[in-house]
């Protein structure tokens, strides 16, 4: 088919990146979103969030005419492939995923789906959602096909992960419709497939499970090493040395065995909770009951950071102490503060009457909206001015590479709590700092 006409429904983090990347591969892409401000920003080449390389990609694809954004869903008419990239946040009243945005977007799309077109879901959904949506589409347009093609994007690397994915998962129906869908998507993703990205074809239910199973495994690995950190603290052991040793076992591997504050963001926490909720609906909750402890371990790390901060103050009350918090985003190379462990710790300290000053290279605007009661600073030096303790809570490169000698003349007391095990303890101690970290002596 060569160049295809593509629509992307939902232009948030996933959709905006996907739209720009598909346009860069030579396809004609229209992105649709109900948020007029978001659409206007994207259409002018200004992403409404920070993602490495996205602004540059918009600058390349928008002038070509291959990429456009609109609030008008009728603009999708005639598209060969419709990607559904709508968010599925956690419901306010339970662990379950809120599918109301997805359902609304899908129902707005369906009347404009042409015969033979593909509707490709990329959103993270409870298993069984694709079959339900396929039935709804068949009632209106029986010659169109629903496919599930989950995303595996890492914030900060989303452009790279879209253009050079580590795998492409295609969940298709059986029979001729499924075979045809695979041929179309093989053509659409011809560039990454030619580079060697593995392409796996399976049924739709399995494709839905791939994403939540992958996130659950990752969360389990992170929480495992954090559970070991809890033991190391009471046993007088060092969790980083422990992780180095067990990570050399090729069955385990060293990646994501970094003890610290744990995971956050808009994916892992809500995805494992939605997985538990869906398993309960299917009467299979014992199979994933361990995820409750994974979630609990992750949450405990935040309160443990508060305790470490109190301990490093050498008997001074936390109330009134000036605490510099380096990091507000849930991870580096992102401005995302959704369920951010760093911001959560800052709020907990503030609620205990500490004087908290937060800085971050990218996430200050979002942090101010999320936690307006905190004080914010543009630079590390401003945040650390007169500080009784400095907390490193997001492992931005500029924080990992801080010169401990340079900060000595800024703080009131040279005490640092490393919430990400990102610093060199010897360098900071040699410079005269009291150093504490999660899971280390």
| Among candidate residues 138, 171, 201, the one where a domain is terminated | 201
Instruction: Output the domain CATH number for residue 82.
Output: 3.40.50.720
Assess whether 150 and 293 both reside in one domain: no
| Among candidate residues 201, 227, 259, the one where a domain is terminated | 201
| Among candidate residues 169, 201, 233, the one where a domain is terminated | 201
Q: Please work out, in degrees rounded to the nearest 5, the angle formed at the alpha carbon of residue 329 by the alpha carbons of 225 and 340.
A: 60
Assess whether 168 and 265 both reside in one domain: no
Assess whether 283 and 367 both reside in one domain: yes
What is the full DSSP assignment across 22-48? HHHTT-EEEEE-S-HHHHHHHHTT--S
Assess whether 54 and 193 both reside in one domain: yes
Assess whether 79 and 164 both reside in one domain: yes
Q: Which domain holds residue 72?
A: 5-201
Indicate the SS3 state at residue 54: helix
Assess whether 236 and 197 both reside in one domain: no
Assess whether 103 and 235 both reside in one domain: no
Structural domains counted in the chain: 2
Assess whether 121 and 220 both reside in one domain: no
Assess whether 165 and 285 both reside in one domain: no
Assess whether 192 and 268 both reside in one domain: no
Assess whether 19 and 33 both reside in one domain: yes
Tokens found for residue 239: 């969790």
Q: Which residues are catalytic?
A: 267
CA distance 184 to 330: 37
Assess whether 183 and 304 both reside in one domain: no
Question: Can you give the pLDDT of all 441 residues of the chain as single tens digits?
Answer: 468 999 999 999 999 999 999 999 999 999 999 999 999 999 999 999 999 999 999 999 999 999 999 999 999 999 999 999 999 999 999 999 999 999 999 999 999 999 999 999 999 999 999 999 999 999 999 999 999 999 999 999 999 999 999 999 999 999 999 999 999 999 999 999 999 999 999 999 999 999 999 999 999 999 999 999 999 999 999 999 999 999 999 999 999 999 999 999 999 999 999 999 999 999 999 999 999 999 999 999 999 999 999 999 999 999 999 999 999 999 999 999 999 999 999 999 999 999 999 999 999 999 999 999 999 999 999 999 999 999 999 999 999 999 999 999 999 999 999 999 999 999 999 999 999 999 997
């Amino acid at each position: 088919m060569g160049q295809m006409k593509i629509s992307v429904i939902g232009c948030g983090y996933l959709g905006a990146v996907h739209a720009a990347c598909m346009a860069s591969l030579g396809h004609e892409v229209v992105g649709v979103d109900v948020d007029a401000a978001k659409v206007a920003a994207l259409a002018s080449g200004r992403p409404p969030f920070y993602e490495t390389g996205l602004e540059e990609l918009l600058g390349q694809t928008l002038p070509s005419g291959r990429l456009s954004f609109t609030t008008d869903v009728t603009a999708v008419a005639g598209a060969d492939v419709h990607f559904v990239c709508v968010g599925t946040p956690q419901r306010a009243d339970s662990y379950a995923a809120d599918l109301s945005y997805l359902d609304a977007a899908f129902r707005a799309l369906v009347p404009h789906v042409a015969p033979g077109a593909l509707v490709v879901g990329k959103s993270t959904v409870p298993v069984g959602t694709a079959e339900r949506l396929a039935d709804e589409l068949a009632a209106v347009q029986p010659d169109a096909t629903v496919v599930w093609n989950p995303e595996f994007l890492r914030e900060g690397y989303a452009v790279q992960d879209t253009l050079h994915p580590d795998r492409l998962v295609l969940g298709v129906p059986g029979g001729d419709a499924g075979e045809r869908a695979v041929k179309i998507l093989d053509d659409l993703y011809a560039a990454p497939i030619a580079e060697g990205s593995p392409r796996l074809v399976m049924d739709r239910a399995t494709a839905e499970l791939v994403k939540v199973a992958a996130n659950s495994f990752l969360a389990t690995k992170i929480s495992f090493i954090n559970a070991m950190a809890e033991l190391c603290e009471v046993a007088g052991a060092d969790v980083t040395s422990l992780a180095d040793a067990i990570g050399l076992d090729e069955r385990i591997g060293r990646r994501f065995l970094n003890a610290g504050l744990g995971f956050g963001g808009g994916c892992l926490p809500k995805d494992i909770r939605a997985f538990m909720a869906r398993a309960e609906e299917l009467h299979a909750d014992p199979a994933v009951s361990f995820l409750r402890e994974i979630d609990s371990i992750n949450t405990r790390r935040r309160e443990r950071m508060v305790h470490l901060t109190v301990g490093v103050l050498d008997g001074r009350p936390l109330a009134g102490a000036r605490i510099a918090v380096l990091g507000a985003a849930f991870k580096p190379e992102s401005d995302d503060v959704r369920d951010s462990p760093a911001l959560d710790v800052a709020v907990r300290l503030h609620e205990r009457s500490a004087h908290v000053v937060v800085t971050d290279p990218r996430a200050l605007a979002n942090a101010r909206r999320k936690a307006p009661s905190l004080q914010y600073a543009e630079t590390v030096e401003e945040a650390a001015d007169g500080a009784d303790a400095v907390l490193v809570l997001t492992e931005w490169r500029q924080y990992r590479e801080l010169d401990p000698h340079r900060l000595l003349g800024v703080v009131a007391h040279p005490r640092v709590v490393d919430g990400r095990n990102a610093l060199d303890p010897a360098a900071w101690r040699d410079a005269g700092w009291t150093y504490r970290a999660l899971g280390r002596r």
